Structure 1
């Protein structure tokens, strides 16, 4: 499938100060079952960047038109990952990462 047939989605999350190395370590060892879950939900080309000064994680991914990302919050693997990450980042009351969608202000192909 061409990249033009996917939707780009960007969001930000907040990392707790002093947790960058641990965040990196955990993502370097991303669970294979989580990787498969994300791919199965239509997530592609997923990157997360870090603003060290402000402790902000900036994520951007591409998702297929028929993605099922909204269903991920109910999956046991995703809930287990959220619990695993909750000690190093800001979270919502349900344990999900505090994630704020970002609007695209500029794009160039």
Structure 2
């Protein structure tokens, strides 16, 4: 899966800093729901994430109630562009048109 979202202008360095110390409980939660090979790339305020996961929607549904994920989302909410519901403005790109292995 590929995800796109934005960090608030002026928060780029803080975003990088926070990702240097991701809580082990959150990392464990991600692997428990089947996420692997997860990378986030940054270009200015634009964030691009790549992850491998068998069932993205199931995994995200499970993470919604995970305490470590809820804590992380709250921690990151002040530096991410958010939607009207208070969630990160995130866009899922799930159509793969080319793959080289």
Whether these two folds match at TM > 0.5 is yes
Counterpart Cα distance in 1 of 2:72 and 2:87 = 9
Give the alignment partner of residue 9 of structure 2, picking from 4, 17, 27: 17
Gaps of 5+ in 1: 1-8
Indicate the residue corresponding to 1:78 in structure 2.
69
How many residue pairs get aligned? The number is: 99
Counterpart Cα distance in 1 of 2:18 and 2:99 = 31
Q: Please report the TM-score for the alignment, with normalisation by the length of structure 2.
A: 0.85
Gaps of 5+ in 2: none
Give the alignment partner of residue 35 of structure 1, picking from 27, 30, 52: 27
In structure 2, relative to structure 1, the CA distance for the partners of 1:78 and 1:99 (3 Å cut) is same
Q: Please report the TM-score for the alignment, with normalisation by the length of structure 1.
A: 0.79
